[in-house]
């Protein structure tokens, strides 16, 4: 399992300096900012710096037009186009894939049509159709489309891993996979290890944060049981920091990586 971190958490005047800090702090990988990748110059800068560094690109986050289940077809098209571009960037930069959220609560305009269909049922039905096409786009690009369940305060559709798993299995997707975020799981999953075990090999990427969404080791999250579950399902992907920090990054980031490596060592290879 690789330990990664969103590029924005590193100090540095340019991407090469950020990668240097990632390496010095003990990270294996970096999660790229999808917004920055829209600029060809920034993309080339990242590609050059990654070629010169042992730190690899794990994933892409941000910059997606997250309106996959919008009622407006032009919004859905924009969403799919943005994801298709990021799938190509992932393939070019050697990252597993881009992370996407079907729809955020604040943007969800799906009506409640009960007793015909609830808002949630309509969201799911449209999401399944979108995922069929997203899966084809991802297969063609040779990257994974990483769908992320969020907590109820951010998304009123798709909060738990099993809901993503059901849709992936329904369409038999080969290139849509689950992005499991410890912070969201801590709010939505009654039992994080059980949720990971049930989603199994469909989990392809992880986000890390402690219980208050600061760096791992700063709160009450039980990473050992979560990592044990990830080991058991054979997870070999990357886990990226997506969190705030309780202190100066040059102090708290290396300390947090060391803490996670101790958690991983405790799990061992059992
Ligand atoms: C938002 O809370 C989040 O976890 C991000 O990874 C969404 O892309
Ligand atoms: Mn996340």
Summarised one tens digit per residue, pLDDT across range 180-229 is 999 999 999 999 999 999 999 999 999 999 999 999 999 999 999 999 99
| Percentage of residues in the chain having pLDDT higher than 70 | 100
pLDDT in tens, 128-137: 999 999 999 9
Domains in the chain, number: 1
- Percent of the chain beyond pLDDT 90? 99
The pLDDT assigned to 218 comes to 98
2 in Cβ contact with 28 (< 8 Å): yes
The whole-model pTM stands at 0.98
Q: Does the structure show a pLDDT above 60 at 52?
A: yes
Instruction: Look at residue 108 and tell me whether its pLDDT is greater than 80.
Output: yes
| Cα(222) to centroid(ligand 1), Å | 20
More confident residue, 268 or 93: 93
Tell how far the Cα of 199 is from the centroid of ligand 1, in angstroms: 19
Q: Which domain holds residue 241?
A: 2-268
pLDDT over 70 (residue 2): yes
- Asked whether 110 lines ligand 1 (CB < 6 A), one says no
Nearest to 154 by CA among 103, 94, 229: 103
Over residues 104-108, the mean pLDDT reads 97
pLDDT value of position 270 = 55
Integer angstrom CA distances of residue 96 from 24, 132, 256: 23, 19, 23
User: Hey, whose CA ends up nearest to atom 7 of ligand 1?
Assistant: 101
Ligand 1 contacts CB of residue 61 (under 6 A): yes
Instruction: Tell me the C-alpha distance between 255 and 60, whole Å.
Output: 24
**Predicted local confidence at residue 269, as pLDDT:** 73
What number does the ligand 1 atom closest to the CA of 64 have? Answer: 8
Ligand 1 test: best mutation among 181, 206, 212, 241, most atoms within 8 Å of CB? 181
User: What is the distance in A from the centroid of ligand 2 to the CA of 270?
Assistant: 27
- pLDDT confidence band for 94 (50 / 70 / 90): very high
- List C-alpha distances in Å: 174 to 6, 139, 242, 265: 26, 8, 26, 31
Burial of 269 (0-12, 13-18, 19+ CB in 10 A): exposed
Does the structure show a pLDDT above 90 at 159?
Answer: yes
Rounded to whole angstroms, how far apart are CA atoms 96 and 88?
A: 11
Q: What is the CATH number of the domain that holds 245?
A: 3.20.20.150
Atom of ligand 1 nearest to the CA of 61: 8
Rounded Cα distance between 5 and 28, Å, is 9
Calculate how far, in angstroms, residue 76's C-alpha sits from the geometric centre of ligand 1: 19
Residue with tokens 């390496």: 23
């Amino acid at each position: 399992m690789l330990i990664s971190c969103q590029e924005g958490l590193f100090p540095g005047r340019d991407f090469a300096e950020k990668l240097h800090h990632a390496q010095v702090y003990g990270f294996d990988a970096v999660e790229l900012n999808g917004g920055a990748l829209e600029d060809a110059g920034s993309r080339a800068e990242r590609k050059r710096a990654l070629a010169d560094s042992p730190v690899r690109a794990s994933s892409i986050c941000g910059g997606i037009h997250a309106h996959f289940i919008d009622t407006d077809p032009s919004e859905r098209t924009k969403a799919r186009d943005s994801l298709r571009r990021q799938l190509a960037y992932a393939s070019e930069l050697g990252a597993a894939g881009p992370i996407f959220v079907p729809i955020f609560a604040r943007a969800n305009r799906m009506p409640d049509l009960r007793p015909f269909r609830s808002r949630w049922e309509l969201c799911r039905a449209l999401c399944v159709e979108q995922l069929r096409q997203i899966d084809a786009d991802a297969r063609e690009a040779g990257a994974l489309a990483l769908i992320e369940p969020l907590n109820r305060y951010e998304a009123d559709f798709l909060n738990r891993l099993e809901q993503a798993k059901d849709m992936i299995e329904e369409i038999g997707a080969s290139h849509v996979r689950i992005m499991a975020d410890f912070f969201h799981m801590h709010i939505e999953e009654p039992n994080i290890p059980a949720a990971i075990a049930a989603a199994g090999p469909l989990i392809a990427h992880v986000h890390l944060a402690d219980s208050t969404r600061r760096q791992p080791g700063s709160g009450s999250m039980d990473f050992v049981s979560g990592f044990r579950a990830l080991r058991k399902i054979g997870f070999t992907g990357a886990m990226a920091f997506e969190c705030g920090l309780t202190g100066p990054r040059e102090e708290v980031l290396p300390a947090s990586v060391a803490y996670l490596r101790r958690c991983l060592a405790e799990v061992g290879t059992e």
